[in-house]
Chain A
């Protein structure tokens, strides 16, 4: 500071100081320069050049000298130059040939030599006085603005009383330099010599003081400005060197000062791209809103986050905004804001946070997993024991605790049971630990601590090894075998029972099979018997027919007179033979029909035929008998009877039977053969109605049974095998039809054969 302040006067001074100093004679002898040297530039004494020769004479001269002094001041602005001029004038005009001028620049605590006259420069160069040196009489003189005279020193004691000066032991006067009375002196003028001070000195002092004061003030102003400028630029350099944006804004958020980093964020020239300018505008808006709201809400430093856009690449930047309100009575309040880029910090902290979060989740999961595992282990009904490599139990579930830990209120015997269990289990584990087996299954005879029952358990132990194959733990699951043994026992009993049952069933099955076989054989035998019967009947009928054929044939031949004429009584007898022979043949045929039907050997021959033709044939066939009975036989047929599809021969056989029955059991009256069509059922009803003896309701079903004639007495009135209606009913069924009967005793009977118009076969 000192150097910078005095740099300019130094250059002017130093050049003169380099020239050989004028001889400084004090008290007739040469004086050594002061030893003290502080490196001050004011070394050496300016060369004294006498401008005015001769002593001051009259008023005119004095006035002219004064004018000269003032003129010299007007043209001089440099401190040293002025001082040199003044001291020269002092020597020339007032006769003070040795003088030194000391000045305390503003804001300095030292008095420096700014000019000297009539003294050697070597002693002057290092001469300066600290104003803090209160013991120095020169400082006292300065602060008290008092002229002081120091007489020449003659002894060491004298020297101690007086300050060190370029005058050394010579006498000198000290005159303070200052302007107003009130103000502190800013400098001292030391004038050598023991004589009294010249009369014109006060004037000189006042003029010189004013001039010096003027120059010093001027210098201090310039110096102040320069210093301020330097300080400002230094400040700028400093804040520009800071990588964080720094801003000074007014309370409205307007930018006053910004460092380079802040400028890139908050300013953009017209040449910049639109995107960059947009980013800058947005940043300004964000900043001013952050600052203005902040400024309104509070004062003092506050930290907050500010999200800005990087105008260079458009990326997000997160700043920590540190604002301080500065109070300046002259400039008004401002806000100094420091933005600290915490984007990376934020990212890192987010990552750390994410890491923490994951860790917490993992931890929670691990805890949940562990809880779940514990829950599972506890929920297993079988005891589970985990043993460490040393054989100590590290974990057991609740069922295992019941077996291996002594309950608090256990009796002595219960304690023994538990201890025995523990011993058994420990021995099992010990065996497991020393063996090389990875797994071991064994049976341990434990005791149920509740009640002391023997409790054989199956122990399944597995070793848990580390990645390096070291044994970490042994997990043992114990399974109570009692239930299984009980089940096995029950199963054995059940099996025995089942075996017994099976034997019985087999025996019974054998019996049944035997009986089935017997039945089968019987069935076969029956079938064979039935077939034999049918065969027998067939053979019998054949055997019957052969002689009957001859009998009937010869009778016929006799009746025809093949062997000559026959007398009428003989003819009548022959006719009886023939009639009975025919009856016998009918019986044989009916028996054969029944056996054929029963044997299923009555084939159907389906054809399509006209009902009227069939009925005509039936009537015609029995015409001889009709004629004998003298009964009226009439036919009633629907017109447009459709043709019937059935077994013509069987239908005819049924109708012949029905008609012959009607003729047999009707003594007077009439017989009506009728054919009615039922279009809806697609059937035809062929009926034979008589006015005969009729059948009682109770007997109506029985007439269709085999070999059934209502009158079974040996003296019965009507012939016939009693097979006719039975055969008719069976034939009707074969043809998918039926025979029904309506009858009243004494009034007559109506037999109706109902057949489908189209038989199925």
Chain B
């Protein structure tokens, strides 16, 4: 394990630069270290390189989409324990189920205000730290999107 700074590290995966920068800026503002990735391959690389505390994963990604990237992360024992919060602008039914099957721990629908996203990240991290040995009990962590 690499030594951890006091600030939790968030791997932010989004192909839309404005959104990525917005969330990155706000997360840093809110006290997180942020590592950015623009596609699935980058996300996998960064996850291995930096071992983030949590990964925010947009599902619609070029090169390798978020579902495939999540599956690979969860399949690799080095990254399997890292919670993944799915983030998508698609609101059609089946998206959240697909994300869950791929191994996502939580699901957030865009548009999501930065502060709502930070709340969700904190919640997942809290749950994960209190039940570190056990990686179950993620069912309640799906965020409700405000519409």
A interface list, Cβ under 8 A from B: 538, 541-543, 545-550, 552-554, 556-557, 560, 562, 585-586, 589, 592, 596, 601-603
7 residue pairs, one from A and one from B, having the closest CB atoms: A549-B111, A550-B18, A545-B89, A542-B89, A553-B22, A549-B110, A589-B147
Bound form: Cα–Cα A375–B92 in Å: 91
Contact with A along B92-121 (1 / 0, CB 8 A): 111000000000000000111111000000
Q: B residues 75-101 with Cβ under 8 Å of A?
A: 89-94
Chain B residues within 8 Å of A554, by CB: 22
Closest to A556 in B: B113
Q: When the two chains form the complex, which single residue of A542, A589, A602, A603 contacts B90, counting CB atoms closer than 8 Å?
A: A542
Chain B residues within 8 Å of A586, by CB: 147
Chain A residues within 8 Å of B111, by CB: 545, 548-549, 552-553, 585
Closest to B147 in A: A589
Chain A residues within 8 Å of B18, by CB: 547, 550
Q: Which of A545, A556, A596 has the most CB of B within 10 A?
A: A545
Bound form: Cα–Cα A602–B93 in Å: 7
Bound form: Cα–Cα A560–B26 in Å: 10
Please judge, given known A-B contacts A542-B90, A601-B93, whether A556 and B115 are in contact too, CB under 8 Å.
yes
Please judge, given known A-B contacts A549-B112, A601-B92, whether A557 and B19 are in contact too, CB under 8 Å.
no
The majority secondary structure among interface residues of chain A is: helix
6 residue pairs A–B, Cβ–Cβ below 8 Å:
A538-B92, A541-B91, A545-B111, A549-B112, A557-B29, A603-B93
Q: Is B23 an interface residue (CB 8 A)?
A: yes
Chain A residues within 8 Å of B113, by CB: 552-553, 556
Chain A residues within 8 Å of B93, by CB: 596, 601-603
Chain A residues within 8 Å of B110, by CB: 545-546, 549
Chain B residues within 8 Å of A603, by CB: 93
Chain B residues within 8 Å of A545, by CB: 89, 91, 110-111
Bound form: Cα–Cα A545–B89 in Å: 6
Q: Which of A541, A546, A603 has the most CB of B within 10 A?
A: A546
Bound form: Cα–Cα A601–B94 in Å: 9
Q: When the two chains form the complex, which single residue of A543, A550, A557, A596 contacts B92, counting CB atoms closer than 8 Å?
A: A596
Q: Is the CB of A546 within 8 A of B89?
A: yes
Q: B residues 126-147 with Cβ under 8 Å of A?
A: 147
Chain A residues within 8 Å of B115, by CB: 556, 560
Q: Is the CB of A585 within 8 A of B147?
A: yes
Bound form: Cα–Cα A556–B113 in Å: 7
Closest to B109 in A: A545
Q: Is B60 an interface residue (CB 8 A)?
A: yes
Closest to B23 in A: A553
Please judge, given known A-B contacts A542-B60, A562-B25, whether A549 and B92 are in contact too, CB under 8 Å.
no
CB distance from A697 to the nearest CB of B (A): 33
Q: When the two chains form the complex, which single residue of A542, A550, A560, A585 contacts B22, counting CB atoms closer than 8 Å?
A: A550
Q: Is the CB of B16 within 8 A of A550?
A: yes
Closest to B30 in A: A562
Bound form: Cα–Cα A496–B43 in Å: 80
Bound form: Cα–Cα A554–B22 in Å: 7
B interface list, Cβ under 8 A from A: 16, 18-19, 22-23, 25-26, 29, 60, 89-94, 110-115, 147
Chain B residues within 8 Å of A553, by CB: 19, 22-23, 26, 111-114
Q: Is the CB of A546 within 8 A of B91?
A: no
CB distance from A694 to the nearest CB of B (A): 28
Chain B residues within 8 Å of A557, by CB: 22, 25-26, 29, 114
Closest to B20 in A: A550
Q: Is the CB of A556 within 8 A of B114?
A: yes
CB distance from A409 to the nearest CB of B (A): 101
Bound form: Cα–Cα A601–B96 in Å: 13
Bound form: Cα–Cα A715–B35 in Å: 48
Q: Is the CB of A550 within 8 A of B19?
A: yes
Chain B residues within 8 Å of A602, by CB: 93
CB distance from B100 to the nearest CB of A (A): 13
Bound form: Cα–Cα A543–B26 in Å: 22
CB distance from B67 to the nearest CB of A (A): 15
Q: When the two chains form the complex, which single residue of B16, B26, B92 contacts A562, counting CB atoms closer than 8 Å?
A: B26
Q: A550-B16, A596-B93, A603-B93 are in contact. List 7 more A-B contacts (CB 8 A).
A: A538-B91, A542-B89, A553-B113, A557-B26, A562-B25, A585-B111, A589-B91
Chain B residues within 8 Å of A549, by CB: 19, 89, 110-112
Chain B residues within 8 Å of A542, by CB: 60, 89-91
Closest to B146 in A: A621
Closest to A602 in B: B93
Closest to B19 in A: A550
Closest to A653 in B: B147
Bound form: Cα–Cα A545–B110 in Å: 7
CB distance from A183 to the nearest CB of B (A): 173
Q: Which of A538, A562, A592 has the most CB of B within 10 A?
A: A562
Bound form: Cα–Cα A560–B114 in Å: 10
CB distance from B31 to the nearest CB of A (A): 12
Q: Is the CB of A538 within 8 A of B90?
A: yes
Closest to A543 in B: B89
Closest to A548 in B: B111
CB distance from B137 to the nearest CB of A (A): 19
Bound form: Cα–Cα A605–B17 in Å: 35
Bound form: Cα–Cα A479–B91 in Å: 87
Chain B residues within 8 Å of A592, by CB: 91-92
Chain A residues within 8 Å of B22, by CB: 550, 553-554, 557
CB distance from B49 to the nearest CB of A (A): 27
Chain A residues within 8 Å of B23, by CB: 553
Chain B residues within 8 Å of A546, by CB: 16, 19, 89, 110
Bound form: Cα–Cα A337–B94 in Å: 132
